[in-house]
Structure 1
Amino acid sequence: MTQHQLQDTIARYSQQLKKHPCFREAIRHHYDSLLVTYKKQPLFYKTILQSSRFHVVLALLCFHYGDRKAVLADIKEFCVKMELTSLNTVNSLVTLLRITGRMSLEKSEDDRRVLLYNPSVKGLNETRSYMQISIPSLKMLLPESVLSIHALDDNNTFENFFRRSANLLFDEVILSRLVPNSAMFVDKDAGHIIILRIYLMAAQSEDGKWWLRPNYNKTAKDLSVSRMHLRRIVNCGIMAGLFSEDSAGVLEIHNGFMEMAESYFGFYFSFILYGLNIDPTNV
């Protein structure tokens, strides 16, 4: 499929999911499950749950399981060419993955100047566990589908997920580029879970408006980020017209943010379904 066809497919999946009456509940389940995993290794997950680094990891796995040889230099060239991130960020992330035992590097037997990479058992097990977080939410939205709660335990399903995801990545179907105003959140450390937290903790008043009294100290502690980091993200949202703030620090969460968050997670779930080769419009 062309890039346009892939985007249309993902958008069609997303619209189907968002119509489900349990969509918000599915997002909450995703958040609750993710937070449990996040708190086990907060410094690692706050780093990975930043869009550019997340896509570097995705590229590493797509190359590894795809037809392309897993040459480290190719990954660096690809990520920079696609404007996913800078070369320095790729280098830093590769170093992090290597020294934490999630990836190994070795010289090619054909050309000793060429470095090949391999995800470790630890790295692949963590990837599988992270992906598993979303499966119950998807099952909630597609109870009649063939999707199994244990689908990712099957190695063929796991490997094919990245082969299919490569179709999206290599044709530049990038989540944050599909959802306007999402990048200001997900391009920051822990951005994925920060969107979730704001969306789910906002309370709706009788007039239909959404409000949030942020607890910066608790959120900073829970997510292992600084209060300043959170404040900068909120300020970006205010400048973009997604929030407004009164003199007491209470945020009005405008409909633009709520719609953006729902669109983002509709697409997020749809990317996973595409990788699993499940069409939610044909269940």
Structure 2
Amino acid sequence: MPVTLRTRGAAAAVLITAFGLGLGGCDALDPTNLFAEKYKPEVVQDTPADKLYSEGLAKIEDSDYEGAVKKFDSLDKQYAYSDWSRRALLMTAYANYEGQKYDDAITASKRYLQRHPASKDAAYAQYLMAMSQYKQIPDVTRDQDRSEKALVALQELVQKYPTSEYSTDAKAKIQITRDQLAGKEMEVGRYYLERRNFPAAINRFRDVVSKYQTTRHAEEALERLTEAYMALGIVAEAQNSAAVLGHNFPDSPWYKDAHALLQNGGLEPREEKGSFLSKIYTSVMGRTAAAQ
């Protein structure tokens, strides 16, 4: 029999009805239906804190610092705000430091100090942060932003935790860092001196003397000041620089050079007691004597 629009419509109605019944049956699942999905929520048990901590330490022992960080991060998240979390955060900083991921170590150390500023391990967190900056100090020919940050962090350690076991090492590294910063200033000053830009050179050498007068670069800075002032014809300042150099570093080869330079011009070192340089070294020597 030919299929007409009417018969097609009837057939469609039957299909729609059947499909609708099927959908209705899905809405009310029969628990006895073998095809029905049975939802069983999965319960994930937290790994015991001490186990995670031990696993993290084991990773460190194996020099798997990245794996250790993952363990300690997991411990921090699962047991947030607990003592385990505090210990995990400190070990995260340590593992990153040992793995030479210094920026990550700095971040973890800062977080530790923000959360636990009064902790018995706060000094160690500060030390890790300072050392992470210190390890990234570049050679003297490059920008010294890392050196500046290392100096600040090391000084904070000494100031905030003066009796900590890390204070002595921090003081030694402060001197090394200051020497590095002075070296950079000297490099720039010599650059200007060679190009006969004497005012710019003088500014750099004065910075060394005023900021880093206890470093090994101070002697050369005073001699270079003598050179630059003589080149500009500022005789009194040249004599004063050489005199301060001779008074504080009488056996220095730099003093011999400065003295010879003045003698070639028929001059002798002469210190002006109220001068900028004289005041600096009077103050430095006074602090040194008081410390002793």
Larger radius of gyration between Structure 1 and Structure 2: 2
The normalised TM-score by structure 1 is 0.22
Structure 1 or 2: more helix by fraction? 2
When the two structures are superposed, what TM-score results if normalisation uses the length of structure 2? 0.21
Q: Which protein is richer in strand relative to its size?
A: 1
Between 1 and 2, higher relative CO (CA 8 Å, sep ≥ 6) is seen in: 1
